[in-house]
Structure 1
């Protein structure tokens, strides 16, 4: 027998034995049709605060390289400013947080213009307040120009806070469009953030960007962000100039409001998230939430608080004037998942806050 042939037979036998043992192990281990009894909830996950504390101690790598990369983008600042003056918007994409980059550009190159920062990564945003702030900044610019002073007096008969979104956008559209040296820049960190992704918000942002005295500089990180806009929004309203500017910087600020994947859901984290959302709402909305929370703590064994009961208590405290007002608050609570609805045993809808008693007590203490 040829020794080479003998060696080949041994290799084939070894491979056959390996494959046979593999399928035997699969059968013994219940791989054929049987489901594993293990659950994700069985994993002992770390506490959110402990995990964040540990991750903050991790030393960042390639700091010098990242600093040099950010420094190299400074050469683009004159070009970016020129494109803004020509009426374009700037959209920055690429891996890494672009927060430091955009704010550095604003502090060094936009000192002669009004600049407003919108953190799109926050869980909730009041877009009307943002537009009001832009209008006020523009009014301050018009004060210094002889041409704009007359217009300002004519447009400030009604306070901006009482005007509708349509009126505010109309005010911005009526400003002179022949002066590219006078405009307000809106810097949006994460224009694809959770609070900005809905169609209506993107429509308002696009209309705002198309106003002659407004320029938008935005960053995006989600791979599907371009799906937020149609052709008209991209080329006509936002009028984007796209820039690939990877920074490889950690998403420290952007990741604060997102739970870490290896962290367990703790009462402290739930309280922190709910507190951030509530603080972004109006004082009246917060008071309505307190009424519901106090009722839930006083009646732990109940299935929830009927809507009619909540309306009666809020009316007695002069928190709402009608059922419509209460419904608007409840819609906001439900959108942020602060309040949920379930059927009472008698069939009526009841409201409840999906937090533990401990978390709810801590939330009321911190909500001032």
Structure 2
């Protein structure tokens, strides 16, 4: 046997033993963490404690901001070249972008979109942009390509496509005629679905708009395809860590370390479910959907859950289902009850509104 054959055989044996060891060590381990293990406090007490935290490294953060100010003229040049600007890095970029807009973009109309708001409405955003452009065109002195009489004033009765078409209209020949759209957290919870991102990309590609946006989630690039990045958004990436607290961006999220309401309970349950396998999440979804459809019942019988999951090819045996249920019980996601017939039923200790939000979050 040649030396090369011996080396390959040894390498194969080492690899095989490695994966066998990982498989055997991981299969018997089970998380012992529970939602009830989280040491929660009163919400007001937590807010008061957070407000007493003194900021650190203020001089260094101020020096960092001064360094960014020297780049403002370069950033304006990039916008005039037709690029979209994307700011990323640790810390809130809200104050930085608003200072840049208020000091360096005084020659342009600026619209600010707070993407961190959970209830943001993209149709209202596009309508607002179209109305701003309408006002700009009415006050512009230079002769437009199309006469003002041919322009139709944007209104809420128009479709999203019609409003975007207006933003991209050939109203002015001047290339430097555009409005700037500052989007704080373009990856915010109200904007990160596929349809909204496609809409924002179409807005960015319009001839009279330039987008200046910030992101904070590490997986944001997964929201965009190559066409959106290179052709529509046309991003120029800027690494601008500010190390400033997310004061405004975080105020709309529940405090999961505080006692309390249904939203907080749903949030902690979401964290647990997102750590489980997709199959386990699908089984939980079956249970939740049954509970929302049968509010007056004690819960879903285990036999019914098994039948439904088997029909949907989520489990292959009762043993597989039991392993998922053990995980749910260990993390206190479900409780056991008995119905009037004496059957063991599974119940999720959350009201319907919280369940709906939970299923949406893990979708």
- 2:158 pairs with 1:140: no
Structure 1 residue ranges (4+ consecutive) displaced by more than 6 angstroms after TM superposition: 33-38, 267-270
Q: Distance in 2 between matches of 1:212 and 1:36?
A: 53
Q: Is the 8 A contact 1:48 1:260 kept in 2?
A: yes
- Counterpart of 1:105 (choices 94, 100, 109) is 100
SS state of the match for residue 187, structure 1? strand
Q: Following superposition of structure 1 onto structure 2, how do residues 41-52 of structure 1 map, counting pairs within 5 Å?
A: 41-52=36-47
Q: Is the 8 A contact 2:256 2:264 kept in 1?
A: no
Q: Is the 8 A contact 1:87 1:180 kept in 2?
A: no
Cα pair distance change 1:161/1:148, threshold 3 Å:
farther
Residue matched to 1:207: 202
- 2:64 pairs with 1:69: yes
CA RMSD of aligned residues (A): 2.9
Cα pair distance change 1:39/1:234, threshold 3 Å:
closer
Q: Is the 8 A contact 2:145 2:172 kept in 1?
A: no
Cα pair distance change 1:45/1:239, threshold 3 Å:
same
Paired residues in the alignment total: 248
Q: Distance in 1 between matches of 2:213 and 2:63?
A: 22
Q: Distance in 1 between matches of 2:72 and 2:164?
A: 29
SS state of the match for residue 181, structure 2? strand
- 2:238 pairs with 1:243: yes
SS state of the match for residue 259, structure 1? coil
1:37 deviates by 7.9
Summarize deviations over 1:69-105 as a string: whole Å, max 9, x none: 1111011110111111111110000000000000000
1:247 deviates by 0.2
- Counterpart of 2:161 (choices 163, 166, 184) is 166
- 2:84 pairs with 1:89: yes
- 2:88 pairs with 1:125: no
- Identify which range, 202-211 or 109-118, moves more after superposition: 109-118
1:182 deviates by 1.5
- 2:248 pairs with 1:253: yes
1:128 deviates by 1.2
Residue matched to 2:212: 217
SS state of the match for residue 263, structure 1? coil
Summarize deviations over 1:182-230 as a string: whole Å, max 9, x none: 2111111111111111111010000000000000000011111111111
- Identify which range, 118-127 or 260-269, moves more after superposition: 260-269
Structure showing greater radius of gyration is 1
Q: Is the 8 A contact 1:135 1:172 kept in 2?
A: yes
SS state of the match for residue 46, structure 1? coil
Q: Distance in 2 between matches of 1:228 and 1:96?
A: 21
Q: Distance in 2 between matches of 1:198 and 1:221?
A: 16
Mind listing any 5+ residue stretches in structure 1 that lack a counterpart?
Answer: 1-32, 271-300, 304-344, 346-351, 356-368
Summarize deviations over 1:129-187 as a string: whole Å, max 9, x none: 11111111111211222424964432226x52111001011111113464232211111
Cα pair distance change 1:92/1:43, threshold 3 Å:
closer
Cα pair distance change 1:266/1:53, threshold 3 Å:
farther
Q: Is the 8 A contact 1:141 1:182 kept in 2?
A: no
- 2:223 pairs with 1:228: yes
Residue matched to 1:189: 184
- Counterpart of 2:150 (choices 154, 157, 161) is 154
1:44 deviates by 4.4
Summarize deviations over 1:4-48 as a string: whole Å, max 9, x none: xxxxxxxxxxxxxxxxxxxxxxxxxxxxx7989874315541122
Q: TM-score, normalised by structure 2?
A: 0.62
- 2:260 pairs with 1:265: yes
Q: Is the 8 A contact 1:93 1:245 kept in 2?
A: yes
Q: TM-score, normalised by structure 1?
A: 0.61
Q: Is the 8 A contact 1:86 1:180 kept in 2?
A: no
Q: Distance in 1 between matches of 2:131 and 2:146?
A: 15
Q: Is the 8 A contact 1:187 1:217 kept in 2?
A: yes
